[in-house]
Chain A
Amino acid sequence: DGGITQSPKYLFRKEGQNVTLSCEQNLNHDAMYWYRQDPGQGLRLIYYSQIVNDFQKGDIAEGYSVSREKKESFPLTVTSAQKNPTAFYLCASAGQGHTGELFFGEGSRLTVL
């Protein structure tokens, strides 16, 4: 079945360590997005990519990095520079020419101890 897969679902890391969250989609979508969600809050855009080998910063990109080497994959690295990394991270994708509808993964919950 087509869909968007995030892994791992839960992740624990010590403070100061980098961690990479995986996002894979087999929907043949051009655009991919990473959002951060804190408890009781909406979604805030971290990074997005509208085409392979290209990506742009979102509203809260500091302390994060991404790559888009393949159309299917858009991994997010949470670096030690991110001051408050504990959060729920959501990856999404959208097809070419989309007007807004995003398809979301199930999320990855990162807890930094």
Chain B
Amino acid sequence: GESVGLHLPTLSVQEGDNSIINCAYSNSASDYFIWYKQESGKGPQFIIDIRSNMDKRQGQRVTVLLNKTVKHLSLQIAATQPGDSAVYFCAENGYNQGGKLIFGQGTELSVKP
């Protein structure tokens, strides 16, 4: 069945460096993708989204890249800060599934001071 998965379960970066979190998806019919940030013991928070008719979208310090050819999604965080430490999930809109989101496993980002 369809799935959304992450290449790396954990990522450790130095404060100030850029972070790249990757995600693979298998449902080529999905047309909307979201990145969420989840801090320990809290609910996920929306970071950025992208539609399938785009290949790049930028926010404040974050950029999402979408490569539909290889069904790959990435989240880039510029100048990573300690407050960025969290688990990051990608999710895809389950097209033909009532709009339900399908979540990946998550990547834990740890920022070293």
Contacts and interface: CB of A to CB of B under 8 A. Distances in A.
A43 B34 contact: no
B43 A58 contact: no
B43 A105 contact: yes
B100 interface: yes
A27 to B, nearest CB: 13
Contacts of B85: none
Contacts of A41: 105-106
Contacts, number: 62
Contacts of B58: none
A36 to B, nearest CB: 11
Given A41-B105, A105-B43, A99 B93 contact: yes
B21 interface: no
B100 A48 contact: yes
B89 A42 contact: yes
A102 B106 contact: no
Interface residues on B, range: 20 to 34
B42 A102 contact: no
A43 B44 CA distance: 10
Contacts of B105: 40-42
A13 interface: no
Contacts of A48: 98, 100
A76 to B, nearest CB: 15
A6 to B, nearest CB: 8
Interface of B: 9, 31-34, 36, 41-46, 49, 51, 89, 91-93, 98-101, 103-106
| Shortest 3 CB-CB contacts between residues of A and residues of B | A104-B43, A100-B93, A42-B103
